[in-house]
Amino acid sequence: MTLPADWIAHLQQTPLPVRAEVHRQLTALLQRDEIDQGELVGWLRRDPGACGFVMGSAARVQRAKQRDAPHSLDHALSLLGDTWSRQQIPKLPILEETITDELQLAGYLVAVARSLHAARHAESWLVELRDTSYEIVVVATLLHNFIELALWRDAPELMRLALTQVRDNKISTLGHAIKSALQTEGITLNLLEKSLNDFYYLPTQLFEDEAATPILARQHQTIVLLARRISFFSEMGWYHPQIIATQKEISDLLKRDCAATDQLIHQVAVQTAREFEPMGFYSTAALLIDSASVPRHWPLPAQYGLQPNTQEQALLNFSRRATSQALTPNNLIKSLMSCLIEDLKLVEFIILSRTSSALNLQVNVNKRGSGSAIPKEVTLAENPLLARLMTGMKGLVISRENRYKLKPLLDVNGHMLIEKDCFLQSLSIKNEPFVLIVIDTRSEEDIAPIRALMTHLQTFWQF
């Protein structure tokens, strides 16, 4: 799919679709003789498409009269009147009829779930701060990814491009990644923001994750920004480095200690998960598992339909190779070598095993280039660095930055092993050292996939 020629005009002419359940409830409610406005607001707050349509319609009415824009959904509905609501809201398109591709629909629904999740976090912080500007900030947070939802509807490949850029650490935030994806279509962000803010009254969009349309106060912009970040990065895992940094900022905002802030955030995540369960929405609360070590790999939800990157494909292929044969140490090492060569394209490595005397390491596999001098054996007593590594399942990066510090811990033969930038990994059997693997690296970018592969290997290495 490609974006319509004049996408901005298309967005103004075609409102975002509404989930079928929300549409059904809204229509039934509006058919009653007496409309319960509180119940109506409650259902509108469950869908960013319906919420944006009402807020934008009311803002345009007010602008035509040169009056202030609505400050809440209640205010917007009062400005528009019951007759307008009965006539216009039921005409909104239904999501499940608008998007029939299952994978595209799944991506859209994860983005909807994230907008709801972010709004719940913002709401809890506003309560903590006893902030009276409650409703408009919650609405702003609910609508913070309006453009993302429009992209899932009109050009899901652009959203997958943006998500892939963040997943692969090529762009730091989703806002910047969406901006980059739009630029590939020749869309100017400033014009898009202005046009949609004028039409839909989106209080803040934070495409670049820092700048915002100056409708909200600075603290409120910060709340929307932090809610946006916590809801997105929690999809990768609650121990993601960006989550840790964001939690610290939230702690400063609320003037609470980090432990109390974490408890509040996790409580909202669990409550939201319970709310999402009957809707069938993806919830990040499933990832709230205490972890003794920070993961090396941060996958996004499968519902986005992203193609696996090189690292993910290597892990998948290792699992396939490992489980297709008997789980023995030698078979797992063969599977590891296949992944290094075929998937990660790391073709130069050395595998050494302990000799029967347990005093030396002997080269069993040498895939390093023919021009490199490699010793046949290395004596552990004369190489305390290697002896230390062989005391368990340990990994070590060797680079220009630390090689000069480590060379005194090696003899001439040990120097030959680390003459190139490399990654050292030891494997043990029943807590007894078994093998040392030396993988030559081409750049720092090779380290993360090697670490992830070694961590993955150890889930099978039950010896």
Give the pLDDT of residue 262: 92
Mean pLDDT, to the nearest integer, of 10-25? Answer: 96
8 A C-beta contact, residue 246 and residue 254: no
**For residue 358, what are its two tokens?**
């347990």
Using alpha carbons only, give the angle 106, 274, 223 rounded to the nearest 5 degrees: 80
Mean pLDDT, to the nearest integer, of 372-386? Answer: 92
pTM of the model: 0.82
Mean pLDDT, to the nearest integer, of 55-62? Answer: 91
Q: Cβ-count burial of 372 within 10 angstroms (0-12 exposed, 13-18 middle, 19+ buried)?
A: middle
Interatomic CA distance for residues 262 and 121, integer angstroms: 12
**For residue 161, what are its two tokens?**
């491009």
Of the pLDDT bands very low, low, confident and very high (cuts 50, 70, 90), residue 462 is confident
Give the pLDDT of residue 203: 58
- DSSP lists the bridge partners of residue 363 as 352
Interatomic CA distance for residues 460 and 417, integer angstroms: 27
**For residue 364, what are its two tokens?**
């069993």
**309 closest CA partner among 107, 439, 169, 171:** 169
Of the pLDDT bands very low, low, confident and very high (cuts 50, 70, 90), residue 347 is very high
pLDDT beyond 60 at 72: yes
Q: Which fold has domain 310-460?
A: Beta-Lactamase (3.30.450)
**222 closest CA partner among 197, 256, 246, 196:** 246
Give the pLDDT of residue 206: 45
Query: Which of 40-49, 168-177, 329-338, 421-430 is predicted with the least confidence, judged by mean pLDDT?
Result: 168-177
Helices H / strands E in the chain, number of each:
22, 6
More confident residue, 304 or 132: 304
Residue 456 to residues 170, 317, 369, 377, Cα–Cα distance (Å) = 23, 11, 27, 29
Query: Which of 40-49, 62-71, 118-127, 318-327 is predicted with the least confidence, judged by mean pLDDT?
Result: 62-71
Query: Which of 25-39, 207-221, 340-354, 421-435 is predicted with the least confidence, judged by mean pLDDT?
Result: 207-221
pLDDT beyond 80 at 371: no
Q: pLDDT for 438-450, tens place per residue?
A: 999 999 989 989 9
DSSP state of 49: H
Domains of the chain, by residue range, sit at 7-17+99-287, 310-460
Of the pLDDT bands very low, low, confident and very high (cuts 50, 70, 90), residue 291 is low
The length of the chain in residues reads 463
Of the pLDDT bands very low, low, confident and very high (cuts 50, 70, 90), residue 204 is low
Contacts of 114 (CB under 8 A, 6+ apart): 145, 231, 232, 235
pLDDT beyond 60 at 293: no
**76 closest CA partner among 43, 92, 54, 95:** 54
Q: pLDDT for 388-424, tens place per residue?
A: 999 889 999 999 999 999 999 999 999 999 999 999 9
More confident residue, 216 or 271: 271
Query: Which of 26-30, 122-126, 347-351, 391-395 is predicted with the least confidence, judged by mean pLDDT?
Result: 391-395
Handedness of CA 231, 232, 237, 238 (dihedral sign): negative
Give the pLDDT of residue 214: 43
Of the pLDDT bands very low, low, confident and very high (cuts 50, 70, 90), residue 210 is very low
Task: Return the biggest CA–CA distance within the chain.
Answer: 91
pLDDT mean across residues, the chain? 90
8 A C-beta contact, residue 144 and residue 156: no
Mean pLDDT, to the nearest integer, of 272-278? Answer: 92
Interatomic CA distance for residues 22 and 26, integer angstroms: 6
Give the pLDDT of residue 402: 94
Give the pLDDT of residue 205: 54
Give the pLDDT of residue 116: 96
Mean pLDDT, to the nearest integer, of 96-120? Answer: 96
Residue 280 to residues 19, 53, 112, 433, Cα–Cα distance (Å) = 12, 24, 12, 48
- DSSP lists the bridge partners of residue 422 as 398, 440
8 A C-beta contact, residue 138 and residue 119: yes
Of the pLDDT bands very low, low, confident and very high (cuts 50, 70, 90), residue 132 is confident
